[in-house]
Amino acid sequence: MEETRVALLGIVVENPDSVEPLNRLLHEYKDFIIGRMGLPYRKRGINLISIMLDAPGDAISSLSGKIGMLAGVTAKTVYSKIPGQPDESAD
């Protein structure tokens, strides 16, 4: 069983054309997402999204990297310091 980590992924979307590819990526990683909050900031024309994850470290890094490669999208990850637990789905 692979150890998982709890993390918060902060996303800033400045390009509306990247919303659909971003949602496809999030759907691809849906099994690791424990919560999501998105807010449009109309005054600035951007969207701010928080994704809470409990996933293997490589899955978190992969998702963050893929999101960061989208045009007009920035992603940063903050990891919890609590010890991870084995991923029960890795049988």
Give the pLDDT score at 49: 98
The band of 81, judged by pLDDT with boundaries at 50, 70 and 90, is confident
Give the pLDDT score at 86: 66
Give the pLDDT score at 74: 97
Q: What CATH homologous superfamily does 4-73 map to? A: ACT-like. Chain A, domain 2 (3.30.70.1150)
| 8 A C-beta contact, residue 54 and residue 66 | no
* pTM beyond 0.75: yes
Coil, strand or helix at 16: helix
- The percent of residues above 90 in pLDDT, for the chain, comes to 85
Segments in the chain forming alpha helices (H): 19-28, 57-68
Which residues are bridge partners to 51 per DSSP? 9, 36
| 8 A C-beta contact, residue 2 and residue 89 | no
- Looking at the predicted structure, is the pLDDT value of residue 90 above 60? no
Nearest CA to 80 out of 62, 61, 54 is that of 54
